[in-house]
Amino acid sequence: MNSFSVVSRVVSGGLGIVLAVSVSGCNQAESTAVAKSAADQKPVVDVVTPTRATITRITTQPATVFAWYEAEIHGRVAGYLAELNVDIGDKVSSGDVLGRIAVPELKAAYEKQEATIRRLQAEAERAVAAVKLAAADVQSAQAMANETAADVGSAVAELTAAKAEFDRVTDLVNSKSVAARLLDESRQKFESATSKKTSAEAALESAKAAVTVARERYAVAQASLTAAQADTDVARKALEEQQAMLSYAALTAPFDGVVTRRNVDPGDLVRKNDTSGPVAGSSLFSVAQVDRMRVHIDLPENEAAIANVGDPVSLNVRSLPGRTLTGKISRIARRLDESTRAMLAEVDLPNEDGLLLPGMYAEATITLQETPNALALPATAVRFDETGHSTVCLVDGNSAIKLVSVVTGFDDGKQIEILSGLDDSARVAAGQLGSLKDGQQVRVK
């Protein structure tokens, strides 16, 4: 064997070793790369645990500022505006005359009614006098009847005595004790007494009839007096009605406030507002009480049920930047508007400085509920399906995903209240919820 062959074998052997080593190294690198690639394919998730916190349920809704009271002043009588005392922006007090309508025909009718009452009062006074006269006639007729009754009694007594005398004389004449002429005299006295009694009885009946007539006249006079008094009362009521209509000629402020609208000028014809309803026709003035204001907030249906009087409210008025007003719900409507499915809530605000104006727009943030020591998760840790069912992705000790159903409560957009399904020690994935599956391996950051 020559030297060249030995060298060739050595070289060949060395190359084989080198090639074997190279192949072995390549296989190890490939295995490492595959393992690394498989690890890289595992989703990377953040892991959070539920926390105990006070969950505050709030809602922010648009709001509108209204005057505490606002009244539309209409004309109740027809005429021309003779007097205008205010303009828009003027402050007025309750009872101040804003304007006055000229109503001469109503004034003339009022004066005519006053004259009618004076005539009826005179007739009533005459009826009173007639009643008094009729009462006197009754007393007089009764006295005459009493006197006539006494005459009847006297006539009866006289007749009794005459009859006794006649009977006694008759007996004496029959026994021939006295002359017969004495019987004639006794008979005449008896017959005269009988006639007198009959006349007295007739006079008594006449007196009784006179008493009845006098009493009837008294009753008629009393009825005439009652009718006259009733006519006077009716006339007075009519006068009060006309006086009320005359008072409508003065257009007055119903409360302390500010004139916000004036729709009439001096000399304008004011027509009587006969159409019923609180907003019928065109108003002449509007007066608003603005030392206190009402803020109207429409609460959606899902929040109306849990709103209560006294819930705290913060208001950001668009025209008052940088200033937050605070208050509480003062009253709620307790019904939903059928067209908007919202419930009206009102907040009362003081406005002594006059910064708030009717019609201003605001945003109202209402604290509806506070749940202390509530179990909560970040909103990114809860998954909801198309039916609203909620689940969370638990990460076990082997970094595997386990899907668990939970019952959620209030969601403020940042954290969600967990009512059941979890405890405080749970490890929950907070990322890639849509792509995680039950049993899937993940990498925890």
Residues 337 and 325: their CA atoms lie apart, in Å, by 27
Point out the least confidently predicted range of 78-87, 271-280, 345-354: 271-280
8 Å CB contact between 166 and 186: yes
Least-confidence region, from 66-80, 150-164, 299-313, 392-406: 150-164
Between CA 366 and CA 59 the distance in angstroms is: 5
Give residue 274's pLDDT. 55
CA angle 421, 422, 428 (to 5 degrees): 120
pLDDT at 326 over 90: yes
* Segment (H or E) for 196: helix 181-247
Give the whole-angstrom CA distance, residue 147 versus residue 326. Answer: 96
Angstrom CA distances, 181 to 86, 174, 195, 280, stand at 117, 12, 22, 111
Per-range mean pLDDT, top range of 57-71, 149-163, 180-194, 266-280: 57-71
DSSP string for 294-332: EEEEEEEHHHHTT--TT-EEEEEETTSTT-EEEEEEEEE
* 18-27, 158-167, 232-241: range with lowest mean pLDDT: 18-27
- Most confident option among 3-12, 123-132, 307-316: 307-316
In this structure, are strands 342-350 and 361-378 parallel, antiparallel, or unpaired?
unpaired
For residue 81, the model assigns a pLDDT of 94
Domains and CATH numbers, the chain: 44-54+373-444 (2.40.420.20), 75-101+250-283 (2.40.50.100), 106-247 (1.10.287.620), 289-372 (2.40.30.170)
* Average confidence (pLDDT) over 3-11: 36
pLDDT > 90: percent of the chain? 45
CA distance 206 to 220: 21
Lowest mean pLDDT among 259-273, 308-322, 429-443: 429-443
Average pLDDT over the chain, rounded to whole?
84
Q: Identify the residue whose tokens are 């006070």.
A: 54
Q: What pLDDT does residue 40 have?
A: 57
In angstroms, what CA-CA distances link 8 with 23, 25, 45?
22, 25, 59
In the predicted model, what is the mean pLDDT of residues 53-72? 92
Q: Specify the pLDDT at position 328.
A: 97
Tens digits of residue pLDDT in 190-230 = 778 788 888 878 887 888 888 888 888 888 888 988 898 99
Indicate if the pLDDT at residue 332 is higher than 90: yes
Q: Is the pLDDT of residue 120 over 60?
A: yes
Half-sphere exposure of 363 (CA within 13 A, CB side): 12
Q: Give the model's confidence band at 17: pLDDT under 50 very low, under 70 low, under 90 confident, else very high.
A: very low
For the ranges 12-21, 145-154, 177-186, the maximum mean pLDDT occurs at 145-154
Closest to 365 in 3D by CA, of 412, 316, 410, 411? 316
pLDDT at 99: 96
Residues 6+ apart with CB under 8 A from 349: 292, 293, 294, 295, 315, 325, 327, 356
Report the alpha-carbon angle 52-58-59, nearest 5: 150
CA dist., res. 211 & res. 144, Å (int): 9
Query: Which stretch, 35-49, 119-133, 149-163, 320-334, has highest mean pLDDT?
Result: 320-334
Q: Write down the number of H helices and E strands in the chain.
A: 4, 21
279 to each of 274, 275, 283, how far by Cα in Å?
Answer: 12, 9, 8
Q: What pLDDT does residue 183 have? A: 72
pLDDT for position 178? 66
Give yes or no for residue 240 having a pLDDT over 60: yes
Whether the full predicted model's pTM is greater than 0.75, yes or no, is: no
For range 115-144, the mean pLDDT? 88
